[in-house]
């Protein structure tokens, strides 16, 4: 089920059209997909966007999509060891340059890459800078030539590309055969709810999380006089000494009333709820 399918199902259950998610999952992937409902969709850009994945990589086989859904383009008889994998991983940590897969939704000249691929058209793919905070080998099977790798990374990182590039470095080729997103920002898989459990709006209401808990920015309680100003888009005094250009969450009665940005002695209002 794709991320789009998940959103469509939640719309049918809740009868609410304004629903969005915080990061697309590949169709074969599973795991954490934070869903925002109603006005909270306007907060998506302020949610932490680092991700953590448990990826299963198969060595010896290369596919055009870098995953198990693609067509096999190359096989290899080269056998690798656990030490080979451990020695190769360090070069993928930190800030790296990464080429997205041709079968991805990134747009080039207004057209998605996978549309070029399906049409058999060539297109120049630009490398992108991504940050890999953690890359650890969890398990390796020399018999199966399969590795499980834990990856914590910045937004926009393609785990499929890491699998493919790791295979290239090791000289045997590789592709991704399983992917579980274990964390998205402050959302963790252990605290998540399976989609199958959402059978009615009452279940959704039970599982709702106050977005105040998930936003990692300074939070300022505002009084009724300040609330009137906020509703009219008028800046309020920066009484808490928030640093210039820092995002601020303005709260009244345990409800997010606005998102602002500190500007010296004032907090400028950017979004009102």
- Look at residue 250 and tell me whether its pLDDT is greater than 90: yes
Q: What is the pLDDT of residue 23?
A: 83
Q: What is the pLDDT of residue 154?
A: 95
Active site residue 77: no
Superfamily of domain 51-179: Pseudouridine synthase (3.30.2350.10)
* pTM (predicted TM-score): 0.89
Confidence of residue 252 (pLDDT cuts 50, 70, 90): very high
Burial class (CB in 10 A: 0-12, 13-18, 19+), 179: buried
Q: What is the pLDDT of residue 264?
A: 87
pLDDT digits (tens, 9 = 90+) for 112-128: 877 877 888 878 888 89
User: Please, are residues 161 and 98 in contact by the beta-carbon 8 Å criterion?
Assistant: yes
Q: Per mean pLDDT, which of 47-51, 106-110, 259-263 is the most reliable? A: 259-263
SS3 95: strand
Going by C-alpha positions, the residue among 17, 46, 50, 22 that lies closest to residue 271 is 46
Query: What is the DSSP code (8-state) at residue 124?
Result: P
- 188 has which bridge partners? 183
Residue with more model confidence, 237 or 2: 237
Confidence of residue 238 (pLDDT cuts 50, 70, 90): very high
Confidence of residue 35 (pLDDT cuts 50, 70, 90): very high
User: Please, are residues 240 and 218 in contact by the beta-carbon 8 Å criterion?
Assistant: yes
Q: Comparing 3-17, 136-150, 241-255, which segment has the lowest mean pLDDT?
A: 3-17
Q: What is the pLDDT of residue 125?
A: 81
Confidence of residue 213 (pLDDT cuts 50, 70, 90): very high
pLDDT digits (tens, 9 = 90+) for 56-112: 999 999 999 999 999 999 999 999 999 999 999 999 999 999 988 887 778 878 878
CATH architecture of 217-272: Roll (2.30)
Among 5, 26, 50, 64, the one annotated catalytic? 26
Confidence of residue 219 (pLDDT cuts 50, 70, 90): very high
pLDDT digits (tens, 9 = 90+) for 25-34: 888 899 999 9
Burial class (CB in 10 A: 0-12, 13-18, 19+), 128: middle
Q: What is the pLDDT of the chain when averaged over all its residues?
A: 93
Domain boundaries along the sequence of the chain: 3-47+186-212, 51-179, 217-272
Q: What is the pLDDT of residue 103?
A: 78
pLDDT digits (tens, 9 = 90+) for 148-169: 999 999 999 999 999 999 999 9
- Look at residue 53 and tell me whether its pLDDT is greater than 90: yes
């Amino acid at each position: 089920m794709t991320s789009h399918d998940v959103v469509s199902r939640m719309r049918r259950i809740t009868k609410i059209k304004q629903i969005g998610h915080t990061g697309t999952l590949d169709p074969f992937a599973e795991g954490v997909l934070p869903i925002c409902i109603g006005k909270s969709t306007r907060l998506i850009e302020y949610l932490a966007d680092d991700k953590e994945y448990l990826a299963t990589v198969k060595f010896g086989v290369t596919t055009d999509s870098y995953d198990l859904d693609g067509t096999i383009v190359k096989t290899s008889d080269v056998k690798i060891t656990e030490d080979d994998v451990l020695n190769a991983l360090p070069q993928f940590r930190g800030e790296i340059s990464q080429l997205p897969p041709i079968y991805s939704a990134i747009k080039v000249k207004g057209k998605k890459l996978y549309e070029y691929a399906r049409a058999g058209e060539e297109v120049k793919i630009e490398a992108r800078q991504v940050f890999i905070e953690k890359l650890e080998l969890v398990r390796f099977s020399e018999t199966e030539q399969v590795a499980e790798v834990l990856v914590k990374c910045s937004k926009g990182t393609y785990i499929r590309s890491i699998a493919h590039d790791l295979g290239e470095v090791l000289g045997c080729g590789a592709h991704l055969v399983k992917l579980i997103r274990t964390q998205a920002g402050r959302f963790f898989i252990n605290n998540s709810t399976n989609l199958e459990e959402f059978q009615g709006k009452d279940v959704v209401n039970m599982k709702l999380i106050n977005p105040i808990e998930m936003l990692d920015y300074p939070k300022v309680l505002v009084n009724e006089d300040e609330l009137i100003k906020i509703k009219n888009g008028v800046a309020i005094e920066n009484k808490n000494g928030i640093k210039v250009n820092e995002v601020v969450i303005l709260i009244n009665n345990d409800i997010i009333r606005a998102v602002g940005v500190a500007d010296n002695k004032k907090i400028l209002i950017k979004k009102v709820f």
